Amino acid sequence: MSTATLTIDLDAIAANWRALDAANTGETAAVVKADGYGLGAARVARRLVREGVRSFFVAIAEEGAALRDVVGPEAAIHVFSGHMSGDADMIADCGLVPMINSVDQMIRHAEALPGRAFGIQLDSGMNRLGMEPAEWQAVREIALTQGLRLIMSHLACADEADHAMNAQQLRAFREMTEGLDIPRSLANTGGILMHPDYHFDLARPGIGLYGGAPFTDARPVVTLDLPVIQCRDLEAGETVGYGNDFVAARPTRIATVSAGYADGILRGMGPRTSLYAEETPCRIAGRISMDLIGVDITDLGHDPSSLRLLGPEQGIDVLADNASTISYEILTSLGGRYTRRLVGA
């Protein structure tokens, strides 16, 4: 079999949600945007519904529409992008809750779907999505009479618990929502882990569910095993791969594995990354190419049938550091050619 195997541990996702829920003082939702961070929104959400999750967040209305049959008619599905032009039918038919980001979206929603549920997203300092204080003041009283279900904002620096921006955004969010009897949401994964002051009524963990920092106690969720296609011996001075980046300094045994950057294995991680044969690390030799990676197995002492890139020995945050990126990109880049194996489905 020449296809790499991506194992997705749904039990680990459920355990991570339970741990974050135990640390949270309000309701704990789940963010399943970008197809469940690349792991399959339907399978992730279905497993989390069994854990008692009743609120989900997606990026766009199309994601929410695809999720409705999975989570059932009672679960709340919130859409971060709000009510975009052309979304009215999906919002109405699938019972979505758009998180309104602007006065224009507020008008669009009120005209197309008067009285239908919506949320408000406020900009507390990130300057990405949401109404600024003046916009919010302009529509606040109208919004309170139109089916408003939730008010949220998003933390920019929650992965750094001591960053001054966190307290600044908390103050701004409180000022914009003070005195309102509407459920509020500010905390993402990092917000849950910082302090109960950030929890409010509903928290929205994302990356922590999938095993990523800043949730350092998270259970690993994915393993990735790459099949070995061929092994060969090199003499000292011979090279491997494009550009002759790897030059053998001694007699060397090279395994060529079936995967590459077309499968979301980022080229930039190559110089700092090993693959594992059980607990033995084997360094990548040369450049990661589209479909193939050379690996130095000289010290392994045998030819393996596969080598592991992701697993307990080396998680998504390690690969992210090796590629000078973040674990979100590692997960959402995982390609479509993998054979996906589920644990706890």
198, 242, 328, 338: the catalytic one is 242
Task: Write phi, then psi, for 8 (nearest 5 degrees).
Answer: -115, 120
How many other CB atoms are found less than 10 A from the CB of residue 339?
12
- Cα dihedral angle (46, 226, 334, 278), rounded to 10 degrees? 70
Judge whether 210 counts as a catalytic residue. Answer: no
Options 33, 37, 198, 261, the catalytic residue: 33
261 is catalytic: no
Active site residues: 33, 242
